[in-house]
Amino acid sequence: MQAYFDRIDHRGGTEPTRETLAALVAAHVRHIPFENLDPLMGVPIVDLSAAALTAKLVARRRGGYCYEHNNLLAEVLTELGYHVERLAARVVWMSPEGVDGPPRPQTHQGLAVTIPGSPQHYLVDVGFGGQTPTAPIPMVPDAVQQTSHEPFRLREHGADLVLETLIGQRWRPLYIMGLQPRPLIDLQVGSWYVSTYPESNFVVGLTAALVTDDARWNLRGRNLAIHADGGTERVRFDDAAQVCAELTGRFGIDLSGLGDVEAKVATVLDT
């Protein structure tokens, strides 16, 4: 547990309160990057045990994607005394059809977290990449949660909830979250699928994301977008060497032991 706290630089309390939950979410997204280097390098992500996730995201100072981030945090929160349920979602972010399109597979994971002594559930998601919520979201339809970055809200969608974020003057849907708790085996299947399916974005492209106090850093291929103060700075890297330097520098990812990352990145710079 202390190794995790050191990894995210958490020096606050550990009592299972609303304040502790918010502090852990904020610290996690600022210190452990979102990245898909394992699937890109041909390594399936199936082992979602606490030991495996701690070894990768904490000890080896790597990042990961939703199944890794949220299962690691679920283990921490459970040990601290929170009640945690794992949920599955259908991603509609950046989809032209939004929530009204044909059903997409449930390839994203979030958490429903309850504080001891309180009936209130919070949606916690530290693994949605470039638009990861930076605070717990009350699971109350239409209640707007201001975060250190954008506002978020949940909206009813049949028996499910849609997570939305306000960008500019427009509410945009991120995903449709099912409310039935999922056993870990279901999430292992989802993780295996998105880390091995030949057309998966995680297999055919490079992505990394990290949050700072006032900005979002989103890398896709050779293109870095830094969203801050209502504006966006864009950087286009010339080659794979520059991209790898960004991964180790700005994102703080240890690339050792992964093989020839630079050669692989060179093949997907424009995806």
Catalytic residues: 66, 108, 125
Tokens describing residue 54: 């701690």
Which residues of the chain form beta strands (DSSP E)? 34-35, 83-91, 106-114, 121-124, 137-138, 152-157, 160-167, 170-177, 207-211, 215-220, 223-228, 231-236
How far is it, in rounded angstroms, from Cα 9 to Cα 32? 10
- Type of residue numbered 118: S
Contact 48, 83 (CB under 8 A): no
- Type of residue numbered 29: V
Sign of CA dihedral 93, 98, 104, 109: positive
3-state secondary structure of 262: helix
Instruction: Report the 10 Å Cβ neighbour count for 85.
Output: 15
- Type of residue numbered 59: A
Residue 89, CA atoms < 13 Å, CB-side half-sphere: 30
How far is it, in rounded angstroms, from Cα 41 to Cα 145? 37
- Cβ neighbours of residue 69 under 8 Å, at least 6 residues apart? 28, 32, 34, 57, 63, 126, 127
Which residues of 178-252 form beta strands (DSSP E)? 207-211, 215-220, 223-228, 231-236
